[in-house]
Amino acid sequence: MPAHPKDENFAMHDWLNNLPKAELHLHLEGSLEPELMFRLAERNRIALPWNDVEALRSAYNFGNLQEFLDLYYAGADVLRTEQDFYDLTWAYLQKCEEQNVVHTEPFFDPQTHTDRGVPFEAALNGISAALADGRELLGISSGLILSFLRHLPEEEAFRTLEQALPYRNAFFAVGLDSSEVGHPPSKFQRVFDKARAEGFLTVAHAGEEGPPEYIWQALDLLKVSRIDHGVRAAEDPKLIARLIEEQIPLTVCPLSNTKLKVFDDMRQHNILDLLEQGVKVTVNSDDPAYFGGYVTENFVALHESLGMTEEQARRLAQNSLDARLAY
């Protein structure tokens, strides 16, 4: 008697979940689940604009990147103390353990918090303590990326870098994120030059909502080791050829891309096309609390919507392990 399709789906889910993988594109604040948000709001006596967890979940039906960012920063406001940042990071690491994510390189955006009056040290100490416990207690290796908000002026990024330098060993790289359109990588060339001079590796969000030109700028002006998102590279054959030749990893986030309408439907996603062309694509969750799932859910979506095979999944998982920058 042939296996029921549902049984096969469960089996594939378990297989994908058990596959050893790394996560290279994760915003810690984006892993803030509604339940934890309410718990922290209560602890810090903060009134949220939603009455309950379900009302908050329904607010997640945003239509574009800016609406998402507005919601995201409202949620981040509950993070006030070192313990809050520890709890946030630890909850994410527990999810990594559940999904056999053996290595993670999350982004930390200090400006999201220092602009609200949260001390840089409080946020960093909480995150770093959780990552250390993750290494010791869960066996999950990690490295932290100091990320600049691109919708703010470059001077602000310089200030953030100066704040981080006394904690140089807490970070292995700098990154660039938030609203992409109208904020090209070239705007941050000087601060990235300074970061590289201080010994940081560099990565940058480019080619998600922004054009392929932003990927060229990230490579040539910011000298990045890895491109975050990068799916619009497919529009530029010369760029694709370079990504393949230099084996520059792309940290692709499929569920995020469909939620933010980079692709209207997962069946239109180009990650497997890029994989088959020889581009070093990886699977990541970006902001999993907001976009419908963690790394395993992203793999499952590719299997269900694009027919990703076990062999392709193995290559994607291996790409993520090969593309690690923190050791």
CATH number of 5-31+82-322: 3.20.20.140
Return the number of other C-beta atoms located less than 10 Å from residue 11's C-beta. 11
Q: Are 149 and 156 in contact (CB under 8 A)?
A: yes
208: annotated active-site residue = yes
What whole-number distance in Å separates Cα of residue 200 and Cα of residue 280? 22
Choosing from 23, 180, 208, 297, the catalytic residue is: 208
DSSP string, 197-250: HTT-EEEEEESSSS-HHHHHHHHHTS--SEEEE-GGGGG-HHHHHHHHHHT--E
Tokens 């998982």, residue located: 317
- 231 backbone dihedrals φ, ψ, rounded to 5°: -65, -25
- Which bin fits 307, alpha (ψ -120 to 50), beta or left (φ > 0)? left
The length of the chain is 327
306: nearest Cα among 255, 239, 236: 255
Q: Sketch the domain layout of the chain as residue ranges.
A: 5-31+82-322
- What distances in angstroms separate CA 169 from CA 47, 144, 146, 165, one per listed residue? 36, 10, 11, 9
Q: Digits of tens for pLDDT over the chain (327 positions)?
A: 455 556 677 899 999 999 999 999 999 999 999 999 999 999 999 998 888 989 888 887 777 777 777 788 888 999 999 999 999 999 999 999 999 999 999 999 999 999 999 999 999 999 999 999 999 999 999 999 999 999 999 999 999 999 999 999 999 999 999 889 999 999 999 999 999 999 999 999 999 999 999 999 999 999 999 999 999 999 999 999 999 999 999 999 999 999 988 999 999 999 999 999 999 999 999 999 999 999 999 999 999 999 999 999 999 999 999 999 998
Judged by DSSP in three states, 153 sits in coil
Q: Are 275 and 230 in contact (CB under 8 A)?
A: no
